């Protein structure tokens, strides 16, 4: 795992290019640790997640490792991946997946647990586990269902064929598609924009969307109202509204 700072933005890179950044148990644990550290670092205001090399974001889970697992070990491997991806999904800071190539199987599942996804126009995404006699095990059936709907989820998971970035955007799986040469610059631009936004309000948005995606509308609205009211206790809310009235740029501090 590689990490580097770009101002308030932390860039985390899955670094197994010889294996197309495939997710084995050690990589899952390293990602979990990296995101746990980022969550507790007040100097980090946004995170970019990507893969090393020109070919892949993450091409999937490590098939060589999975081939040796017993049923109990397979279940544990699934839980390991789901715990890590749930940590990313619940991160109190925005996480952007920078999809620089193949995002297949566990790679697409990893991208989908991020809050936003920007893909190179050369990227391919998919859930090909059916071709291995498997199903997605890191949350793919559930997050894909919520992003793309029932028909697209059934197609991608049952047919197992990858789709290009343009179709992924049309289905709502990725937010933006940019030229491959501009991917890093455009992703960093968005991450820097988010790093300058009000941190507590960003966290409130993430929490509300996570909660609302897993409950009924009445419960979701109630949670949103509570979070909205809570914002009025923050210095950032006073700064933001005052800056608007004074026609200046706000300086948010996360308090």
- Report, as residue numbers or ranges, the catalytic residues: 109, 129
* Signed CA dihedral, 82, 205, 198, 248: sign only: positive
Measured CA distances, 196 to 11, 18, 192, 204, 250 (Å): 16, 36, 6, 15, 9
Count other Cβ atoms within 10 Å, centred on residue 241.
Answer: 12
Angle ∠(78,79,84) on CA atoms, nearest 5: 105
Count other Cβ atoms within 10 Å, centred on residue 98.
Answer: 28
**Token output for 38:** 């980022």
- Distance in angstroms (rounded) separating the CA atoms of residues 14 and 106: 13
DSSP letters, 237-255, are: HHHHHHHHHTTS-------
- Residue 184: which of 192, 194, 196 has the closest Cα? 192
- Distance in angstroms (rounded) separating the CA atoms of residues 33 and 72: 24
Rounded (10°) angle between helices 140-148 and 106-113 = 60
């Amino acid at each position: 795992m590689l990490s580097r700072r770009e101002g308030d933005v932390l860039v985390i890179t899955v670094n197994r290019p010889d294996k197309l950044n495939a997710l084995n148990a050690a990589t899952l644990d390293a990602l979990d640790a990296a995101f746990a550290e980022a969550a507790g670092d007040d100097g980090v205001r946004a995170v970019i997640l990507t893969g090393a090399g020109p070919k892949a974001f993450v091409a999937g889970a490590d098939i060589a490792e999975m081939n040796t697992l017993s049923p109990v070990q397979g279940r544990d491997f699934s839980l390991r991946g789901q715990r890590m991806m749930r940590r990313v999904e619940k991160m109190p800071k925005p996480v952007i997946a920078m999809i620089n190539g193949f995002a297949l199987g566990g790679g697409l599942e990893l991208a989908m647990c991020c809050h936003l996804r920007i893909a190179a126009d050369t990227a391919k995404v998919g859930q090909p586990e059916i071709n291995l006699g498997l199903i997605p095990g890191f949350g793919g059936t559930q997050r894909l269902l919520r992003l793309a709907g029932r028909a697209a989820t059934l197609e991608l998971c049952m047919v197992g064929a990858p789709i290009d970035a343009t179709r992924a955007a049309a289905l709502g799986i990725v937010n933006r598609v940019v030229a491959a040469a501009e991917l890093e610059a455009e992703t960093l631009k968005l991450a820097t924009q988010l790093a300058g936004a009000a941190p507590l309000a960003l966290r409130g948005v993430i929490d509300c969307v996570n909660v609302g995606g897993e409950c009924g509308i009445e419960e979701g609205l109630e949670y949103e109202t509570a979070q909205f009211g809570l914002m009025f206790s923050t210095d950032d809310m006073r700064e933001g509204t005052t800056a608007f009235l004074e026609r200046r740029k706000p300086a948010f501090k996360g308090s």
